[in-house]
Structure 1
Amino acid sequence: MKTTTLYRPVGLKELELIHASEWTYFPPRLSWQPIFYPVMNEEYAIEIATKWNLDDEGSGYSGFVTAFDMNESFLKKYKVENVGGPIHDELWVPAEELKEFNENIVGEIRVTKTYFGKKYTSPENEELKRIINKTQELS
C-alpha cells in the first residue's frame, strides 16, 4: 500500500484528545467546525501553528505540528485545495467523513514540531508533557 504524509497543526486541547486516542485518530469536529483541514506540507502546518495558534486561548497558546501517513488510494477522493500561496495546499474533509478518514490513517499520528506562546501552560498529563518536551528538544 502506498502512503502519503499529511500534516495537521493543532492546539493543546486537540493534542490531548489525539493522545487519548493513543495517537490513532483525530477527534470529531465541533458543531461549528464542518470541515477537517489536513495540510499537504509541513511548512504550511508550521505557518499555521506559529502565526495563528500561539496567541489563541482556544489553542492553549500553543501550536503542535502533527504528521500522519494516509492510504494514498483513499485520498484520491479529495481534491487538493490551494487557499493562498504556493505552499497553502490542504484537503477539505467534511466532518461527517472524518471517521472514515481516520480509519485510513496508516500507523500513528506523530508530533513533529512544538511552539509555545507567552501564556502557554503545560498539560497536567505527565506522559503527554514528556512527549511535548521531547519533541521541543528535537524541533
Structure 2
Amino acid sequence: MTGRPATTTLWRPTGPAELELVRESGWRAWPPRLPEQPIFYPVLNEDYAIKIARDWNVKHDGSGHVTRFEVDSEFLRRYPVQQAGGRTILELWVPAEELDDFNAHIVGKIQLVHTFQ
C-alpha cells in the first residue's frame, strides 16, 4: 500500500503581486524569481510569516498575505534550515534555479491563511 509522502508544513509571506501569480497557477506553484531575487525563502513557522506579511508587505505593497503549504519532507532535506535572526527566525533558502523542482514537490495546494491591509 502506498500513501501520501511525509510532508513538512511551510509558510510564505507574500505581497499581492506574487499572490496573484500563485492564484493563476491554480494554487499549485510559486512564480519564478525576479532577477533581483536569487533565493526563494519559505519560512518554518506561522508567527514569523505573519510578522513579515504584516510589518513589511503591508508597508511596501499595501497588503500582506500568509500562505501555508506542504512539501515532501524527503525532498526538503537538501535545504538546511537557516537561522536568519532569533531562535524562531527559521527559513529555507531555495536557489531560484531550483524553484521548478521545489514546486514539483509541493503536496496539495497552497492555502491563503491570513491577509493584512
Q: Which has the higher contact order (CA 8 A, sep 6+)?
A: 2
Residue 12 (structure 2) aligned to one of 8, 13, 20: 8
Residue deviations 1:34-91 (CA, integer Å, cap 9, x gap): 00010001010001001111110xx3x1110000000000000000000111210000
Q: Residues of 1 paired with 2:88 and 2:17: CA distance?
A: 26
Find the aligned partners of 1:106 and 1:54 in 2 and give their Cα distance.
28
Matched, 1:18 2:19: no
Using the alignment, how far apart are the partners of 2:53 and 2:25 within structure 1?
21
CA distance in 2, matches of 1:6, 1:92: 12
Letter in 1 for 2:105: N
What secondary structure does 1:16 align onto? helix
Structure-1 separation of matches of 2:44 and 2:10: 5
**Structure 1 residue 100 displacement after superposition:** 0.1
State whether structure 2 residue 39 is matched by structure 1 residue 31: no
Query: 3-state DSSP class of the match of 2:57?
Result: coil
Where 2:13 maps in the other structure, the secondary structure is strand
Structure 1 unaligned blocks of 5 or more: 117-139
Unaligned runs of 5+ in 2: none
What number of residue pairs does the alignment pair up?
A: 113
Alignment of 1:36-51 (within 5 A): 36-51=40-55
- Measured in 2, the distance between the counterparts of 1:4 and 1:79 equals 13
The answer to whether the aligner puts 1:104 opposite 2:105 as a matched pair is yes
Q: Write the distance in 2 (CA, Å) between the matches of 1:54 and 1:106.
A: 28
1:112 alignment partner, SS class: strand
1:65 aligns with 2:46: no
Runs ≥4 residues deviating over 6 A: none
